[in-house]
Amino acid sequence: MREPGGLVLVAPVTARRPGPGEVRLDVVASGICGADAGMAADSSPAGGFPITPGHEVAGVVAELGPDVHGWETGERAGVGWFGGSCGSCTACRSGDVVHCPRRRIPGLSYAGGWASTITVPAGALVRIPHGLSMAEAAPFGCAGVTTFNALRRSGAEPGDRVAVVGIGGLGHLAVQFARAMGFETVAIARGEDKRRTATELGAHHYLDASREEAGTLLRELDGCRLILSTAASGEPLAGLIDGLVPHGRLTVVGFDGTPLRLPLDKLVMHARSVTGHVTGTPADTEQAMRFALASGVRPQVQTAPLEQAAEAPKAQQAGQARFRTILTPTA
């Protein structure tokens, strides 16, 4: 929980009984995303205090509300950034529930997963396959499904050259997914110390963006069909345009709110495009996990007890976690 002045551990937590169409989970693992860290640092959240962050949640079904079908207590389940939708708007009726204007997000729309229990709409639940630990499964609710979908829906085909900017919570998964999908994979980060990590994750090439502008370095490789930017800073994005082949695409999944100024002539004259991408449906998340099991893709995580929720985000942001910190409630 949080109140002005910092994160405060509240124990014991009173579990909220699920209402119609809802399910309560006993939380086993909950990832720390950059958005969670930002929420925890916000001194004036839109919904007021108290709040409970956490939208990368893996747990066990503990209680079913009325009118819930297809789930049983004891099942392994999770919830991610997509935490429910209205079901009646144009987006929902066309199957695009992720872009529902009343989409619900754990931690923002209701109490999130930095807790021992969470109650969510049944339609937001994800089945966790055996073969993934709870700590490995949790990041698929946000980082995993986001990078998986951004790559597979980019228009790039096996054998195409794809670059991933940033090797962090999202980027380390994107590099693995890109390699597993058959792309010639380029990892871009700052510093030669990242080269070995990029290679271990499966990158065919590593480019040190501290040496020269990344777009220029990509041109030396004859350019990319797709550049997936997972880094939090929007400052380098304009320079990446030069690294795209004609009809290439820059997809942004990590950002910090910096206004984007692009050289439009380089977009128009070469038929390039810039897109954004966010999350996926529960079905997408389940597919991302199945693909990970089949291909060997895994998030690299380290765990911390829930009691360290105040310190763990700071350590992750300082680069002391590799690559996702997972909070684990004590029994």
SS3 13: coil
- How many whole angstroms from its chain centre is CA 275? 17
SS3 267: helix
Contact status, residue 51 vs residue 39, Cβ threshold 8 Å = yes
Contact status, residue 253 vs residue 119, Cβ threshold 8 Å = no
For the chain, the farthest-separated pair of C-alpha atoms sits apart, in whole angstroms, at 61
Binned at pLDDT 50, 70 and 90, residue 83 comes out as very high
Asked: is 145-276 a CATH 3.40.50.720 domain? The reply is yes
Q: Would strands 76-79 and 57-64 be described as parallel, antiparallel, or unpaired?
A: antiparallel
Report the C-alpha gap between 184 and 186 in whole angstroms.
Answer: 7
- At 176, which helix (H) or strand (E)? helix 171-180
Q: Would strands 22-31 and 57-64 be described as parallel, antiparallel, or unpaired?
A: antiparallel
Give the residue extent of every domain in the chain. Answer: 2-141+280-328, 145-276
137-190 pLDDT per residue, tens: 999 999 999 999 999 999 999 999 999 999 999 999 999 999 999 999 999 999
**Domain 2-141+280-328 in this protein, CATH class:** alpha beta
| pLDDT on residue 5 | 52
Report the C-alpha gap between 36 and 53 in whole angstroms.
Answer: 6
Structure tokens at 131: 């073969």
B/e letters for 89-116, b = 16+ CB within 10 Å, e = fewer, are bebbeeeebbebeebbbbbbbbbbbbbb
Binned at pLDDT 50, 70 and 90, residue 203 comes out as very high
Percent of the chain with pLDDT over 70: 90
- How many whole angstroms from its chain centre is CA 143? 2
Report the C-alpha gap between 273 and 285 in whole angstroms.
Answer: 26
Binned at pLDDT 50, 70 and 90, residue 320 comes out as low
Report the C-alpha gap between 237 and 215 in whole angstroms.
Answer: 9
Q: Following DSSP, what letter does each residue of 51-84 receive, concatenated?
A: B-----EEEEEEEE-TT--S--TT-EEEE-S---
pLDDT over 80 (residue 38): no
Structure tokens at 66: 């009325």
| pLDDT on residue 234 | 75
